Amino acid sequence: MVGLDIGTSGVRAAELTLGKRGITLERFGQVALPEGAVRGGEVVDVDAVAEALKQLWAQAKFSSKKVAVGVANQRVVVRQVDLPWLPVAELRKSLAFQVQDYIPMPVEQAILDFHPLEELTSDSGTRVLRVLLVAAAREMVSTSLEAVTRAGLTPSMVDLTSFAVLRATAHADSGLGGAEALVDVGAGVTNIVVHQGGVPRFVRILLMGGEDITDAVAERMGVGGSEAEAIKQSSALAVVAGAGEAHPAARALETSGSALIEEVRGSLDYFAAQSGASRISRVVLSGGGSRLGGLAERLSAATRLPVVAGHPLSLLQVGKTGLTDEQLSYVEPMVTVPVGLALGVAS
Ligand SMILES: Nc1ncnc2c1ncn2[C@@H]1O[C@H](COP(=O)(O)OP(=O)(O)OP(=O)(O)O)[C@@H](O)[C@H]1O
Ligand SMILES: [Mg+2]
């Protein structure tokens, strides 16, 4: 099972095998993408992405060319909707006829999917099935898949990146203690999933991430992207908002970092305000952007919730990946999505 994450900063893949000892991470690799090849989670430059994928397969020696691909961008919507009750198999067949009112694109141009959440009886006494509806613009998905096939790979499955984050970082015990929020902070996209005992309740895809912070530093300091990246990585958000702004980049870091934190908090507040929402007991962070110093502390202060790092590798045995323990722990935040996509093939 190979999961493939086409991110803004690079392409990454993880190969898992299923055996007697459980699930093993056999290989992981990543190749950086040129700037602009992927924007806002959408493949813009098909050739550049295909080229990076070819390189990735040449260097990481995956044993398969079949991949599960993730998508997360503005052209995917995920909504909780109540549909007239039908057996799940029948609903799957008739979904296109039921959901036009709930999605901002013509159904003929959408790829549809859903997760059943619960059965309810509406106020008027009719039986309804509450589902998490996913609609992705067909054209956006095909562009992504074109890059994959142009690299000689075969997409076996397309999945919402948020669901990959769910499989890779959800704590199984969270059904008991309420809901848990998973937040994967990328370069240009932040995936938020609130789940209860592994069942997704709420998904939000924010077009924001570490790159916005780098850009703010670059602009403030009048330096290029790689220098701004280095400044960002060697600094941190003040643990208390507004404190310690001595460094000239601190203000830019503070403003852009707070904007990201506020968006995440706003999304969690939105979930909390839904009727019947469970209380969130904890936030789990992943993604390269979650490495920003001080982010966990500040998010914790803003949400008044414990914030912990996700550990996708804790679910797995580690095979002969060629990576040292130190390298593995360094890449762990970025392993989340490809591992979660590969896990989706197994389930
Ligand atoms: N040590 C660090 N400190 C702060 N930020 C970091 C650090 N390491 C990586 N990042 C940031 O992580 C981001 C990349 O994260 P990630 O690799 O998860 O994104 P991506 O998957 O390529 O993009 P996206 O999911 O947004 O399409 C970049 O913005 C980078 O600046
Ligand atoms: Mg990502």
| Cβ count near 298 (within 10 Å) | 23
Is the CB of 213 inside a 6 Å radius of any atom of ligand 1? no
Domain boundaries, the chain: 76-137
- DSSP H helical segments within the chain, as ranges? 46-60, 88-98, 138-150, 161-169, 210-221, 225-234, 250-273, 295-303, 325-346
Which atom of ligand 1 lies closest to the CA of 233?
Answer: 3
Closest protein CA for atom 21 of ligand 1: 7
Is the CB of 70 inside a 6 Å radius of any atom of ligand 1? no
> Of 206, 201, 42, whose CA–CA distance to 133 is shortest?
201
Task: For 160-191, give one letter per residue: b (16+ CB within 10 A) or e.
Answer: bbbbbbbbbbbbeebbeeebbbbbbbbbbbbb
Is the CB of 292 inside a 6 Å radius of any atom of ligand 1? yes
Is the CB of 338 inside a 6 Å radius of any atom of ligand 1? no
Tokens 């999505």 appear where? 337
Burial of 239 (0-12, 13-18, 19+ CB in 10 A): middle
Is the CB of 190 inside a 6 Å radius of any atom of ligand 1? no
Is the CB of 210 inside a 6 Å radius of any atom of ligand 1? yes
The distance of Cα 78 from the centroid of its chain, to the nearest Å, equals 13
Beginning with the edge strand found earlier in the chain, give each strand of the sheet holding 2-6 in spatial order.
154-160, 66-71, 2-6, 10-19, 22-32, 317-318
Q: Which helix (H) or strand (E) holds 79?
A: strand 76-84
Pocket mutation for ligand 1, best pick of 4, 5, 6, 9 (most atoms within 8 Å of C-beta) = 9
- CA of 162 from ligand 2 middle (Å) equals 10
Which atom of ligand 1 lies closest to the CA of 289?
Answer: 12
pLDDT at 155: 97
* Structural contact between residues 189 and 41, judged by C-beta atoms closer than 8 angstroms: yes
* Structural contact between residues 99 and 135, judged by C-beta atoms closer than 8 angstroms: yes
Tokens of 265: 């908090």
Residue spans of the chain under pLDDT 70? 174-177, 242-246
Which tens digit of pLDDT belongs to each residue from 232-283? Answer: 999 999 877 766 666 788 999 999 999 999 999 999 999 999 878 889 999 9
Is the CB of 214 inside a 6 Å radius of any atom of ligand 1? yes
Tokens of 67: 């991949």
Closest-approaching ligand to the CA atom of 337: 2
- CA of 148 from ligand 1 middle (Å) equals 22
Which atom of ligand 1 lies closest to the CA of 336?
Answer: 18
Is the CB of 41 inside a 6 Å radius of any atom of ligand 1? yes
Is the CB of 188 inside a 6 Å radius of any atom of ligand 1? yes
What is the chain's Cα-based Rg? 20
- CA of 93 from ligand 2 middle (Å) equals 31
Cα four-point dihedral sign 334, 15, 200, 130? positive
- CA of 12 from ligand 1 middle (Å) equals 12
CATH topology of domain 76-137: Dna Ligase; domain 1 (3.30.1490)
pLDDT at 174: 60
